[in-house]
Amino acid sequence: MAAERSNPKQTALWWIAGALIVLYALFPVAWIVSLSLRSPSDIAQNRFLPGGVTWANYENILVGGAQDLFLSALRNSIGIVLIATLIAVVLSTFAAYAIARLDFPGKRIILTTALAVAIFPVISIVTPLFNLWRTIGLYDTWPGLIIPYLSLTVPISIWTMSAFFRQIPWDLELAAQVDGATTWQAFRKVIVPLAAPGVFTTAILAFFIAWNDFVYGISLTASEAARPVPAALAFFTGASQFEMPTGPIAAAAVIVTIPVVVLVLVFQRRIVSGLTQGAVKG
């Protein structure tokens, strides 16, 4: 690193490469922001910058005609995703702790099953799930989405959490036990604080996965009772039958991106590596 820093030419190259990547990554976001600020006639123009900034699209979805559709969807999304994330994190914390620390029969099966579930194509189970949910009355309810979201988030959470737990020196837990802690106290007072960065990372991952889901959202809901934002966007309509609702959709997309950005910025400090540094010989 020191050598790289001392070389101005290399530093410049790093900056250029970094700028290109940031530009590439942020261009779609900028495009959506630009779209959300245009009037319907302006959107038809083939240009990047808006001809004139208008807040009409935001007004439309927050206080205007699309208000009911969007705000209820936002409420559903936030509620369902937070509950699903919370359950996923708690469950996967315990599961991952057991996998990382204990030796029990079937440990490998749990891990491979979790991986298999995580890579299983969602679309293939949507139809059976749709029929099942309709029969048992979970169709178009919050639990009806929370449960499938858990199937998406728990496996990946178990994998990330068990990786974090494996990094924590086991001696710390043994030391706590010798110091007079019960297994539960050792877990709560030593392991959980050290695993906190892992818990936050896992929580953010789980939140993203559930927040960005579209397939379950559109297939397992029918009304404003449970429809999340990504699905609700599909139901936006233009001012007339012949007009695409591009502006309102872009505005809604910008708004649903905000929680994700806020989440990362808030927890960024907690996702610090090297918290276990100094525990054992370093």
Partner 1 sequence: MADISMKNLVKQFDGFKAVDDISLDIADGEFMILVGPSGCGKSTLLRMIVGLEDITSGELMIDGERVNERAPRDRNLAMVFQNYALYPHLTVYENIAFPLRLAKRPDEEVDERVRHAADVLELNEQLDRKPATLSGGQRQRVAMGRAIVREASAFLFDEPLSNLDAKLRAQMRTEISRLQKRLGVTTVYVTHDQVEAMTLGDRVAVMRRGVLQQVATPRELYESPVNLFVAGFIGSPSMNFIPANVTDEGLQTPFGTVQLPDDRMGDMNGHEFVVIGARPEHFEDAEVVDDALRDHGTTFDVTVDVLEWLGSEQFAYVPYEAPDEVAAHLDELAKELEAEELHTQLIVSLDVTSRLAEGETATLWLDLRKVQLFDPKTGDNLTLAGDRHRAPEPRGTNGG
Q: Which residues contact partner 1 by CB under 8 A?
A: 169, 171-172, 174-182, 185, 189-190, 193-194, 274-282
Shortest approach of partner 1 to residue 123 CB, angstroms?
Answer: 43
Closest to 140 measured CA to CA, from 234, 87, 217: 217
Q: Nearer to partner 1 by C-beta: 35 or 199?
A: 199
Q: How far is the CB of 274 from partner 1 (least distance, A)?
A: 8
CB atoms within 10 A of CB 177: 14
Closest to 230 (Cα-Cα) out of 253, 264, 251: 253
Q: Could you tell me the smallest distance in angstroms from the CB atom of residue 170 to partner 1?
A: 9
Distance of CA 40 to the CA centre of its chain: 31
Minimal distance, residue 201 CB to partner 1, in Å: 17
Q: Which is nearer to partner 1, 260 or 279 (CB)?
A: 279
What DSSP designation does 45 have?
A: S
Q: How far is the CB of 275 from partner 1 (least distance, A)?
A: 6
| Under 8 Å between Cβ of 40 and 247 | yes
CA dihedral 122, 128, 131, 132 (to 10 degrees): -90
Closer Cβ to partner 1, 161 or 206, answer by number: 161
In 3D space, the residue among 232, 235, 167, 233 whose CA is nearest the CA of residue 196 turns out to be: 167
Nearer to partner 1, 114 or 176 (CB): 176
CB of 103 to partner 1, least distance (A): 12
CA 104 to mean position of chain CA atoms: 31
Nearer to partner 1, 176 or 233 (CB): 176
Nearer to partner 1, 45 or 182 (CB): 182
Task: List the structure tokens of 252.
Answer: 């809604």
- String of DSSP letters for 83-146: HHHHHHHHHHHHHHHHHHH---TTHHHHHHHHHHHHHS-THHHHHHHHHHHHHHT-TTSHHHHH
